Amino acid sequence: MQKEIEIAILPEKIEDEQYILQQGAKMLRLQPQQLKGYKIRKRSIDARSKQVVYRARVIFYIDEFPLPEIYENHFKSVQSGKPVIIIGAGPAGLFAAIRCIERGLKPIVIERGKKVQDRRRDLAKLNREGTVNPESNYCFGEGGAGTYSDGKLYTRSNKRGDVDKVLKLFVSHGATTDILVNARPHIGTNKLPHIIEAMRESVIEFGGEFLFDQRVDDILESFGQARGVKLASGEEIKADHVIVATGHSARDIFELFHRNNWLIEAKAFALGVRIEHPQAIIDQAQYHCQVRSEHLPPAYYSLVEQVNDRGVFSFCMCPGGVIAPCATDHNEIVVNGWSPSKRNNPHANSGTVIQINLEDVPNALNDPFALLDFQKQIEHRAFEVGGGNLVAPAQRMVDFVEGRVSLDLPENSYKPGTSSADLREVLPTFVHEALRGALPIFGKKMKGYYTNEAILVGVESRTSSPIRIPRNKENLQHPQVKGLYPCGEGAGYAGGIISAAIDGINCVDAIDLS
Listed residue (375, 233, 260, 376) closest to 244, CA to CA: 260
Is 381 an interacting residue with respect to ligand FAD (CB under 6 A)? no
Listed residue (292, 323, 498) closest to 409, CA to CA: 323
Is 91 an interacting residue with respect to ligand FAD (CB under 6 A)? yes
CB 484 within 8 A of CB 225: no
Classify 226 in phi/psi space as left (phi over 0), alpha (psi -120 to 50) or beta.
beta
Is 416 an interacting residue with respect to ligand FAD (CB under 6 A)? no
Stretch that binds ligand FAD, among 135-143, 276-284, 387-395, 426-434 (CB under 6 A): 135-143
Q: Which residues contact 146 (CB under 8 A, 6 or more apart)?
A: 90, 91, 192, 497, 500
180: phi then psi, degrees, rounded to nearest 5:
-80, -20
Is 368 an interacting residue with respect to ligand FAD (CB under 6 A)? no
Query: Which amino acid is it at 196?
Result: I
11-30 residues near ligand FAD, rule: CB under 6 A: none
One of 78, 139, 275, 394 touching ligand FAD (CB under 6 A): 139
Is 216 an interacting residue with respect to ligand FAD (CB under 6 A)? yes
One of 92, 192, 327, 394 touching ligand FAD (CB under 6 A): 92
Is 298 an interacting residue with respect to ligand FAD (CB under 6 A)? no
| Minimum CB–partner distance for residue 322 and ligand FAD (Å) | 9
CA–CA distance, 147 with 116 (Å, rounded to integer): 8
One of 58, 145, 469, 476 touching ligand FAD (CB under 6 A): 145
Spell out a b/e string for 138-170, using b for 16 or more CB atoms within 10 Å of the CB, else e.
bbbbbbbbbbbbbbbbbbeeeeeebbebbbbbb
Write the interaction track for ligand FAD spanning residues 305-344; mark x where CB under 6 A is met and - where it is not: -----------x-------x-x---------xxx------
One of 84, 87, 392, 423 touching ligand FAD (CB under 6 A): 87
Residue number, 90 or 368, with CB nearest to ligand FAD: 90
Is 245 an interacting residue with respect to ligand FAD (CB under 6 A)? yes
Residue number, 483 or 495, with CB nearest to ligand FAD: 495
Listed residue (372, 359, 416) closest to 390, CA to CA: 416
The residues facing 229 across adjacent strands are 219, 237
CB atoms within 10 A of CB 407: 8
| Minimum CB–partner distance for residue 257 and ligand FAD (Å) | 11
Half-sphere exposure of 258 (CA within 13 A, CB side): 12
Is 250 an interacting residue with respect to ligand FAD (CB under 6 A)? yes
Kindly list the residues in this chain that would bind ligand FAD in the complex (CB under 6 A).
Answer: 87-93, 110-113, 138-141, 144-146, 149-152, 215-216, 245-247, 250, 253, 316, 324, 326, 336-338, 488-490, 494, 496-498, 500
